[in-house]
């Protein structure tokens, strides 16, 4: 699954490099149009309305990671509010030097709208059985947030070619890191083996290979929920589209995905026909 998707995305990028090379030089400018986090969240909230279900008005506080923790935390993260304080939505942004050039648009789509914050708040509104709010399905939640992040590139004022580049670059990066995760922790790759693998995919500098090795070896299995979860959601979307037929729309699929909420993918897939029968 990972190898196939990585190959597909790399092939698409190679085709785009041949047919629209200038788009590689211009695509990044669109992700920095809104520099302030609040402006980016406002832009995202406005643009998801067509393809995602309605959500009641939410408050969200943007905070900076304390400097003492910058070297130990991820580029950004959403803190799930306590059960007894559901309005306490907080997104932390890490301003460490190594994250200085992070794509804030993608980051806030992942952590905010239509990612973690949106999914968590929407599911709370459904008033499901209390047990549903205790169980944890990281492949669903992180896979969904990764899906939301990649989907959000459509909301940029960019050409189709530029959007394709941004999306396929993100997909190939996720697949590459997931394969490295498996290689290091399941196949016992050393740094030399990892470097050889990365070199076959265009990452040839020793410093980059070392940085990736040290990042992945420090957190076994952490990349898989994001990537496998994303690919499973895409697979279920295709199954849902076939089942929905003429009724299919991105809004319908996203409503199904969010209505059902965090669960295992076999359970999620089994809900498709019953949900469609009720809703259409």
pLDDT in tens, 10-51: 999 999 999 999 999 888 877 766 678 899 999 999 999 999
pLDDT at 71: 85
pLDDT at 32: 63
pLDDT at 34: 67
Number of neighbouring beta carbons within 10 Å of residue 29: 11
Radius of gyration of the chain (CA): 19
pLDDT at 207: 85
- How many whole angstroms separate alpha carbon 97 and alpha carbon 222? 23
Tokens in use for 189? 């790759």
- Could you report the per-residue pLDDT of 147-178, keeping only the tens digit for each? 999 999 999 989 999 999 999 999 999 999 99
The owner of tokens 């406005």 is 46
Tokens in use for 215? 């990042």
Q: Does domain 2-279 have CATH number 1.10.390?
A: yes
- Cβ neighbours for 135, distance < 8 A, ≥ 6 positions apart: 262
- How many whole angstroms separate alpha carbon 137 and alpha carbon 62? 25
Tell me which residues of the chain have a pLDDT lower than 50: none
- How many whole angstroms separate alpha carbon 219 and alpha carbon 28? 29
- Contact criterion met (CB below 8 Å) for 225 and 138: yes
Q: Work out the angle at residue 93's Cα, subtended by the Cα atoms of residues 176 and 133, and round it to the nearest 5 degrees.
A: 80
Characterise 184 by phi-psi region: left (phi > 0), alpha (psi -120 to 50), beta (else): alpha
- How many whole angstroms separate alpha carbon 237 and alpha carbon 253? 7
């Amino acid at each position: 699954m990972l190898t196939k998707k990585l190959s597909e995305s790399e092939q698409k990028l190679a085709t785009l490099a041949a047919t629209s090379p200038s788009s590689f030089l211009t695509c990044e400018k669109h992700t920095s149009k809104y520099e302030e986090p609040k402006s980016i969240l406002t832009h995202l909230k406005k643009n998801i309305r067509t393809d995602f279900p309605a959500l009641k008005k939410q408050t969200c506080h943007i905070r900076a990671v304390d400097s003492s923790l910058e070297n130990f935390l991820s580029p950004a993260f959403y803190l799930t509010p306590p059960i007894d304080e559901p309005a306490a939505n907080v997104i932390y942004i890490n301003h460490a030097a190594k994250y200085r050039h992070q794509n804030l648009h993608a980051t806030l789509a992942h952590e905010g709208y239509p990612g973690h914050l949106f999914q968590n708040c929407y599911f709370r509104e459904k008033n499901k059985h209390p047990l549903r709010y205790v169980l944890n399905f990281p492949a669903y939640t992180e896979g969904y947030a990764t899906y939301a992040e990649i989907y959000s590139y459509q909301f940029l004022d960019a050409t189709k070619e530029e959007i394709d580049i941004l999306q396929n670059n993100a997909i190939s990066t996720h697949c590459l890191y997931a394969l490295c995760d498996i290689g290091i922790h399941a196949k016992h790759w050393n740094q030399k083996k990892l470097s050889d693998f990365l070199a076959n995919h265009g990452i040839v500098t020793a410093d980059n290979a070392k940085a990736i090795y040290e990042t992945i070896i420090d957190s076994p299995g952490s990349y898989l929920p994001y990537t496998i979860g994303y690919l499973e959601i895409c697979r279920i979307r295709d199954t849902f589209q076939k089942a929905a037929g003429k009724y299919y729309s991105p809004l319908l699929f996203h409503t199904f995905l969010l209505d059902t909420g965090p669960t295992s993918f076999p359970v999620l897939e089994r809900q498709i026909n019953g949900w469609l029968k009720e809703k259409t």
